[in-house]
Structure 1
Amino acid sequence: MKEYKYKINGNEYKVAINSIEDGIADIKVNNTAYKVEIVAEKKKAAKPAIKRPAVAPAPAAAAAPVAPAGGKETGVKSPLPGVIIDVCVKVGDEVQVGQKVAVLEAMKMENSINADRAGKVVAIKANKGDSILEGADIILIG
């Protein structure tokens, strides 16, 4: 039998693991018995690995934004994962370099997302309240 003490949100819990058989653990939490199904057992690692969502690689950095040839559209991308709390433009709006196009909340901070080139908004890819990943398009400028 293994015994552990946990403190969760200021509450202390005494956990005793009596046995584990066929993926079912017989445990007691504060002297109340439970049968717990083990879904997946995690292996111990020397250093905890930080898992990040897979994101398409960002284009190679350039000294200044370059307008695409042939009138193709390019996206204003999210610089980090977060939640869109405002989209400041509509489809058809003309935007200038540096103009605020959206507001992203990340790590409890509001971040203004600015257009990296001038042009016309041809699509809005993220709406207010959407969770987005780093590198995801917020709007497309044509």
Structure 2
Amino acid sequence: MKEYKYTINGTKYEVAVGDIEENIVTVTVNGEEYKVEMEKEAEPEKKKPVLGKPAAAAASTSDEPATNKAAVNKNNAVKAPLPGVITDIKVAVGDEVQVGDTIVVLEAMKMANNLQAEKAGKVTAVCVKIGESVMEDDALVVIE
């Protein structure tokens, strides 16, 4: 049993907190016992699923992105301008892209950012998958 002493607006209170059963607490204030119902803790907010998540689950079972990451020339890669989460990939290996084509959608600070090709060429590697968190300057897609 925890005991506390309070003074509120000049009035003194001696409070003893007793047994807690689920969300009901026995509290004694200045010798008088009360049953107090506590508010239940708010459940953590569940994140809304990002469109395209099922594709991410399929991609995660494949080792293809992991092998690409090791053997890729990342000098020609489009890199993440800021930390975020990949919500969509608009290109695949072998696709031809032009300057300004949207290649990846990166969610950062609750905003979707369309990342565009900085040069024309052929996509030789996709270094990320949908749902993956990336840091600033991480390679996303290689265009040669």
The TM-score, its normalising length taken from structure 1, stands at: 0.49
Q: Which of the two has greater helix per residue?
A: 2
